[in-house]
Amino acid sequence: MRWGFLVPLLLSAACAVPDRPHDESPRPGVPVLVYHEIRPDGSQPGETAISLARFEEQMRYLAEHGYTTLSIGELVAFMQGEPLGARRPIVLTFDDGWKSVLEALPVLEKHGFQASFWIISHAGIGEPYLDWSDIGGIAANPNFEIGSHTATHPWDPVENLVTWADGSVPGKGLPEIRFELETSRQELERRLNRPIRYLAWPRGWYNDALIERAREAGYEATLTTDEGVNRQGDDVFRIKRLFVDGACDLGAFEQMLRDARYSVCQTSRRPTQGSSPYPYQEGNQ
């Protein structure tokens, strides 16, 4: 989905989570990377698009530096106390179900990497998104998994799942939230004939009330865009992810992995380094 990331100042001031200090805990943590579109021609890299060549470079870097990919289920098990054998665990996620992620599959398969793909079950099927046959093919690969990204991906800064939950949008509330969460899971399960246990919040926006709705809808964990790594004992309904900016070079990618903070590299209309391109989050409230 194409959008600008300039959120009105009033909303940002009212709703954004205050800056959190960098977590320097010695406990090992697992980074989760989030990608969107893959551009084979390399055009217009940025917050939600990365060239195929740069993506290949990043995957090669991970392979050469001993990273081991985990499934979401393996990540959740680790966060709930199971030990990890991998020295450098990492999780790869692809949001929105863009058709272009098909370009990434041979790269992932080359390195034996696991990955998850987050599907908008009602508004994100067919060009420029994956169709159901594509999704079925991805799900058939044992290294790949499918998750819910809601039914229609409400993402507008004024009208989204958070504002629906807090009652600030007339005509939007619990029934609409239930539709987004429940019908998406049900449709994916019906199409793929397997359980759908995990949900990625649109633009990573969530609050405590939405997490309760996700539990009620049958999800076992949810993914945000809060930055940082995930450690044992952390809340599996607040899984942190690192947003991969396609305009960043390999050096910035390495820095992001070291610091577990966003790297922002495009020169125009950009937030400052280390800030999320999705600033409207209420997870700590």
Q: Which of 6-15, 153-162, 266-275 has the highest mean pLDDT?
A: 153-162
- Tell me: the pLDDT tens digits for 226-235? 999 999 999 9
What pLDDT score does 24 carry? 42
Which pLDDT band holds residue 146 (cuts at 50, 70, 90)?
very high
Once rounded to an integer, what is the mean pLDDT over residues 83-95? Answer: 94
Worst-scoring range by mean pLDDT, 43-47, 99-103, 146-150, 217-221? 43-47
What pLDDT score does 27 carry? 62
Q: By residue range, what is the domain housing residue 63?
A: 28-259
In whole angstroms, give the CA distance from residue 113 to residue 91. 9
- Tell me: the pLDDT tens digits for 164-175? 999 999 999 999
Reply yes or no on whether the pLDDT at 13 is more than 70: no
Q: Are strands 29-30 and 230-231 parallel, antiparallel or unpaired?
A: antiparallel
What pLDDT score does 263 carry? 83
Which pLDDT band holds residue 264 (cuts at 50, 70, 90)?
confident
Query: Does residue 285 fall inside a structural domain?
Result: no
Query: Does residue 21 fall inside a structural domain?
Result: no
In whole angstroms, give the CA distance from residue 104 to residue 114. 12
- Tell me: the pLDDT tens digits for 101-136? 999 999 999 999 999 999 999 999 999 999 999 999
- Tell me: the pLDDT tens digits for 184-222? 999 999 999 999 999 999 999 999 999 999 999 999 999
Which pLDDT band holds residue 8 (cuts at 50, 70, 90)?
very low
Reply yes or no on whether the pLDDT at 273 is more than 50: no
Query: Does residue 116 fall inside a structural domain?
Result: yes
Please state, rounded to an integer, the average pLDDT across all residues of the chain. Answer: 87
**CATH for 32:** 3.20.20.370
Q: Which is higher by pLDDT, 20 or 102?
A: 102
DSSP string over the chain: --------HHHHHHHSPPP------SS-EE-EEEE-EEETT--S-BTTEEEHHHHHHHHHHHHHTTEEE--HHHHHHHHTT-----SEEEEEEEETTBGGGGGTHHHHHHHT--EEEEE-TTTS-STTB--HHHHHHHHHSTTEEEEE--SS--B-SSSBHHHHHTT-STT-SHHHHHIIIIIHHHHHHHHHTS---EEE-GGG---HHHHHHHHHTT-SEEE----S-EETTS-GGGB--EE--TT--HHHHHHHHHHTS-----SSS-PPTTS-S-----TT-
What pLDDT score does 174 carry? 97
Own/partner long-range contacts of 180-183 (Cβ < 8 Å, ≥24 apart): 180/150, 180/151, 180/152, 180/154, 181/148, 181/150, 181/213, 181/214, 181/217, 181/219, 182/217, 182/218, 183/121, 183/122, 183/151
Q: Which of 279, 204, 214 is nearest to 239 (CA)?
A: 204
- The count of structural domains within the chain is 1
In whole angstroms, give the CA distance from residue 88 to residue 6. 35
Reply yes or no on whether the pLDDT at 163 is more than 80: yes
Query: Does residue 120 fall inside a structural domain?
Result: yes
Residue 92's DSSP bridge partners are 33
Query: Does residue 159 fall inside a structural domain?
Result: yes
What pLDDT score does 42 carry? 86
Query: Does residue 8 fall inside a structural domain?
Result: no
Query: Does residue 15 fall inside a structural domain?
Result: no
Query: Does residue 99 fall inside a structural domain?
Result: yes
